[in-house]
């Protein structure tokens, strides 16, 4: 009789972007692929896995917040137009420190919203940028 070994798939929460400016994900890049995710239309898009160095928040479609502590692994599927573009241009590598921040939510002429993101990166595993004084993680959020 052989001994069975159990291998579990890595657990990683997917980040849902809310509508509050300042929401961010900061940490060490574990993996990045240009076509590892799927956007809302079913098209391939970038996906990044990050080990958090700062706590983050994720929001579901109902706007409910879930806090994720530093040290956890999160995944971001870059289906939003602006995020897809900036992550493609950034092309992060394993070990890089990255900060992805929701800078603005813009209402378009058609009534839809467009989320604008800022991406900061330190190559080769340097320390991630510090959170600003008016950080999203502070109350009343």
Instruction: Indicate whether 45 pLDDT > 90.
Output: yes
Angle at 125 between CA 117 and CA 128, to 5 degrees: 45
> Which pLDDT band, with edges at 50, 70 and 90, does 132 fall under?
low
Q: Name the token pair of 130.
A: 């510090």
Domain containing residue 47 = 13-124
* C-beta atoms surrounding 82 within 10 Å: 18
Cα distance between residue 65 and residue 8, in whole Å: 27
- What pTM, to 2 d.p., does this model score? 0.79
> Which pLDDT band, with edges at 50, 70 and 90, does 2 fall under?
confident
In a domain, 21, yes or no: yes
In a domain, 8, yes or no: no
pLDDT in tens, 63-101: 999 999 999 999 999 999 899 999 999 999 999 999 999
> What backbone torsions phi and psi does residue 5 show, to the nearest 5 degrees?
-110, 135
pLDDT in tens, 96-123: 999 999 999 999 899 888 999 999 999 9
Looking at the 3D structure of the chain, how many domains does it have? 1
Cα distance between residue 120 and residue 33, in whole Å: 18
In a domain, 22, yes or no: yes
Helix spans in 36-134 (H): 81-90
């Amino acid at each position: 009789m052989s001994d069975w070994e159990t291998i579990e798939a890595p657990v990683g929460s997917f980040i849902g972007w809310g509508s509050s400016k300042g929401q961010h994900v900061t940490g060490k890049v574990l993996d990045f692929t240009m076509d590892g995710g799927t956007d809302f239309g079913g098209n391939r898009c970038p996906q990044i896995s990050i080990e958090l160095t700062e706590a983050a928040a994720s929001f579901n479609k109902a706007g409910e917040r879930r806090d994720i502590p530093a040290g956890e692994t999160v995944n971001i599927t870059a289906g939003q137009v602006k995020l897809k573009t900036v992550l493609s241009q950034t092309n992060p590598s394993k070990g890089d420190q990255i900060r992805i921040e929701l800078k603005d939510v813009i209402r378009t002429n058609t009534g839809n919203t467009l989320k604008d993101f800022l991406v900061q990166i330190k190559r080769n595993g340097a320390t991630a940028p510090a959170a600003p004084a008016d950080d999203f993680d502070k109350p009343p959020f």
